[in-house]
């Protein structure tokens, strides 16, 4: 199984693809110094299978390596995920 993040900057959205098929997404708002994660969504038939956790893990790994912006998890689900993964708190403190 292959996974991929597909950035759609004109739509302020990141798609999470599994084997080329869209299975989840993150909507964001970008400012000069912040990337605000405002909404996450997983296809209904895949909920409860950890897809959202895998997507957020890949997204935060990508952001760690590609941006100097502060990452703010506005979406309640993303905020809970960050609380459970303190290794990514550094992104929120930039």
Q: How do residues 33-53 score in pLDDT, each as one tens digit?
A: 999 999 999 999 999 999 999
Nearest-angstrom CA–CA distance, 14 and 32: 18
- Which CATH homologous superfamily contains domain 3-92? Gcn5-related N-acetyltransferase (GNAT) (3.40.630.30)
What number is the average pLDDT over the span 46-65?
95
Kindly report whether the global pTM for this prediction surpasses the value 0.95. no
> Where do the structural domains in the chain lie, given as residue ranges?
3-92
Q: In 56-84, which positions are buried (b, 16+ CB within 10 angstroms) versus exposed (e)?
A: beebbeebeeeeebebbbebebbeebbee
């Amino acid at each position: 199984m292959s996974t991929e993040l597909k950035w759609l900057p004109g739509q302020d959205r990141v798609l999470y693809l599994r084997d080329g098929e869209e299975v989840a997404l993150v909507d964001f708002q970008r400012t000069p110094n912040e990337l605000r994660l405002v909404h996450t969504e997983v296809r209904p038939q895949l909920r409860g299978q950890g897809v959202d956790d895998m997507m957020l893990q890949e997204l935060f790994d990508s952001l760690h390596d590609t941006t100097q912006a502060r990452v703010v998890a506005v979406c309640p689900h993303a905020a809970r995920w960050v609380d459970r993964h303190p290794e990514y708190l550094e992104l929120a403190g930039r």
